[in-house]
Amino acid sequence: MFDLKFIRENKELVKKAIQNKNESLNLDELLGLDEKRREIISSVEELKRQRNLSNQTIALLKKEKKDAKAEIEKMRGVSEKISSLDNSLKEIEDKIDSLLLRVPNIPHSTVPVGFDENSNVVIKEWGELPEFSFEPRAHWEIGELLGILDLARGAKLSGSGFYALIGKGALLERGLINFMLDLHTKEHGYKEVWPPFMVNRASMTGTGQLPKLEEDMYLCEKDDLFLVPTAEVPVTNLHRDEILKSEELPIYYVAYTPCFRREAGSYGKDTRGILRVHQFDKVEMVKFVKPEDSYDELEKLVANAEEVLQLLNIPYRVRLLCTGDLSFAAAKCYDIEAWAPGVKKYLEVSSCSNYEAFQSRRIGIKFKPDPKSKAEYVHTLNGSGVALARTVAAFLENFQTEKGTVVVPEVLRPYLGGLEEIS
């Protein structure tokens, strides 16, 4: 979200951002409302000034036991005018607020302009793509063969897009989560958070999922609570409406949560296996930093996420998203994509974004550069480190053997009770 003042003063910049992000929003309507709003404010505040003066007069007259009738009569008309102006002001401000929530963040100058993912730029490739002396299987075949991934029963329980991990599959999931959390807390300086998995509307609006993406969220209507689509939501909202101390920054959090997504509108895409599911596990990193550091922090964030795949020895590439593929709230974003030789595709397993002050302005997270200065908005960032389901798919496909077993990379064995091979 932006200040009205900022939009007023940077109209063309914001218009271009709306266009480059393939959003549609009538900015002129917003600015027209803003003008009307300021006109009303000027006149209503003058009336309120009169009222305040008069209130003092009335108070004084009453105190001296004098007649205040004339003054009160005079004020009655003024108060009526005030309340009618206040009402139209409120109407206009409500409209402004809902429009303001639909203004997307402005892409950073280093973000390539482009319409869709075809304009994303591969900036890095890591690892050797594995070669097999046999035709590598897709993860769902391996999972079924080993009895660790049960898609059919998942669908029986909850419908398509749900799955169950059984035996060593469940162990692998749990081990991966712990491995990632340990890496980020012990090696990268993140503090672990275990947040609620359901959040209210204010939280969802704060990080920018609402109002735009409501259709993609699971909502428990009775309580108006949303199942978290990512830990970004609860963890970023942790400091909502707070003024942080300068010396507290930067703050690094890492959280495991399951993620729930309806994936509305993506039916028919990636329907096999566990590449696009309604519930998956993810370890998410969230940062609160000073504005001048946020782009360095973004690079570090990406490096922290990459290290997960490097240690597991899963080949991947990093793509810089173009304006058209960039999410609503982000200013810059890198996707990390793991190679999956079974399905012969790169799978997006992490998305690392700098939101600059877009989220912090929505939810009021500030800091004081020093005790005397005015509070400024912090910059927020987050990135998956990394998302499980697709990583498990890549894992199974990369480390499969001809007989259908899966070799566990050394770094993960301590987390699987010393297990060297899933068979």
Partner RNA sequence: GGAGAGGUGCCGGAGUGGUUGAACGGGACGGUCUCGAAAACCGUUUACCCCUUACGGGGUACGGGGGUUCGAAUCCCCCCCUCUCCGCCA
Stretch that binds RNA, among 60-68, 99-107, 213-221, 275-283 (CB under 7 A): 60-68
Active-site residue flag, 276: yes
* Interface positions, 87-106, toward RNA (CB under 7 A): 90
With binding defined as CB under 7 A, does residue 49 bind RNA? yes
Q: How far is the CB of 375 from RNA (least distance, A)?
A: 6
Backbone angles phi, psi at 139, to 5 degrees: -60, -30
Residues contacting RNA: total by CB under 7 A: 31
* Interface positions, 191-220, toward RNA (CB under 7 A): none
In the list 15, 36, 48, 212, the residue contacting RNA (rule: CB under 7 A) is 48
Contact string 352-381 vs RNA (x = CB under 7 A) = -------------------xx-xx------
With binding defined as CB under 7 A, does residue 75 bind RNA? yes
Active-site residue flag, 348: yes
* Interface positions, 26-45, toward RNA (CB under 7 A): 38, 41-42, 45
Q: How far is the CB of 150 from RNA (least distance, A)?
A: 25
With binding defined as CB under 7 A, does residue 148 bind RNA? no
**Binding site residues, RNA, CB under 7 A:** 3-5, 38, 41-42, 45-46, 48-49, 51-52, 54-56, 58-60, 62, 68, 72, 75-76, 78-79, 83, 90, 371-372, 374-375
Active-site residue list: 261, 276, 348, 351, 390
